[in-house]
A and B are shown apart, each in its own frame.
Chain A
């Protein structure tokens, strides 16, 4: 069990550029979540996958954001036409399903800075 991994750890981009982040969940986990955290706040939910199906999306996920999990393993989060307000830490989490397996485990995050 190597834990949840995210890549890259840091990303600096100019306003208007597109960025893509990757998340690799814990191998036996079928549920994957994306959250966003801004300075001084707790993480906020963005979206959730069970296997390859995207089952829940927050209103925070504007049409410039898209997430995929094509084979039910790793996931990508893309932000198009980045804005300065997109600067935040993007966190990925995973969990199993079934009794006692709902605990969410978080990756180290990708810190995005939009200049």
Chain B
């Protein structure tokens, strides 16, 4: 199956800092989503971005499908940004509907 690798696994930053999270995947995809998992386990949708660039406030994401990676940028970090960030992809083959998740990046923002 498709492999999804996220880096770094852990990131500790001071409030106000910027960060870049990376997601590499091993095959062609037709769906890529970024999620933030809060301390209660809820997965919050950040971006649906199979290709291109999107921005939403302090967050932005870029997917370069031909090179099989995606980046999530967080600017001016706040303590509420803490949590685990997951990248999930859907392999581009007929009949496949499942998302394959990476192992996540745990982000800790220190006040």
Which of A35, A89, A102 has its CB near the most chain B CB atoms (within 10 A)? A102
Q: Are A42 and B86 in contact (CB under 8 A)?
A: yes
Chain A stretch 76-115: residues in CB contact (< 8 A) with chain B: 89, 91, 93, 102-106, 108-109, 111
**In the complex, A81→B83 CA distance in Å?**
34
Segment touching A, from B14-22, B51-59, B67-75, B97-105: B97-105
Q: Are A56 and B98 in contact (CB under 8 A)?
A: yes
The majority secondary structure among interface residues of chain A is strand
Q: Are B103 and A41 in contact (CB under 8 A)?
A: yes
Q: Are A103 and B98 in contact (CB under 8 A)?
A: no
Which of B48, B98, B100, B104 has its CB near the most chain A CB atoms (within 10 A)? B98
Smallest beta-carbon distance B3→chain A, Å: 12
Smallest beta-carbon distance B107→chain A, Å: 15
**In the complex, A91→B86 CA distance in Å?**
14
**In the complex, A105→B88 CA distance in Å?**
12
Which chain A residue has the least Cβ–Cβ distance from B97? A48
Smallest beta-carbon distance A38→chain B, Å: 11
Q: Are B41 and A42 in contact (CB under 8 A)?
A: no
**In the complex, A17→B33 CA distance in Å?**
36
The one of A50, A104, A109, A111 that contacts B99, using a Cβ cutoff of 8 Å: A104
Residues of B within 8 A of A66 (CB): none
- Given contacts A42-B102, A42-B104, A109-B42, are A103 and B48 in contact (CB under 8 A)? yes
Q: Are A105 and B45 in contact (CB under 8 A)?
A: yes
Smallest beta-carbon distance B7→chain A, Å: 14
Q: Are A43 and B101 in contact (CB under 8 A)?
A: yes
- Given contacts A106-B43, A109-B41, are A44 and B48 in contact (CB under 8 A)? no
**Chain A interface residues (CB < 8 Å from chain B):** 31, 33, 35, 37, 40-45, 48, 50, 55-56, 58, 89, 91, 93, 102-106, 108-109, 111
The 3 closest A-B pairs by CB, nearest first: A42-B101, A45-B98, A106-B43
Q: A93-B99, A106-B35 are in contact. List 13 more A-B contacts (CB 8 A).
A: A31-B97, A41-B103, A42-B103, A43-B99, A43-B101, A44-B101, A48-B97, A55-B95, A58-B98, A104-B33, A104-B99, A106-B42, A109-B41
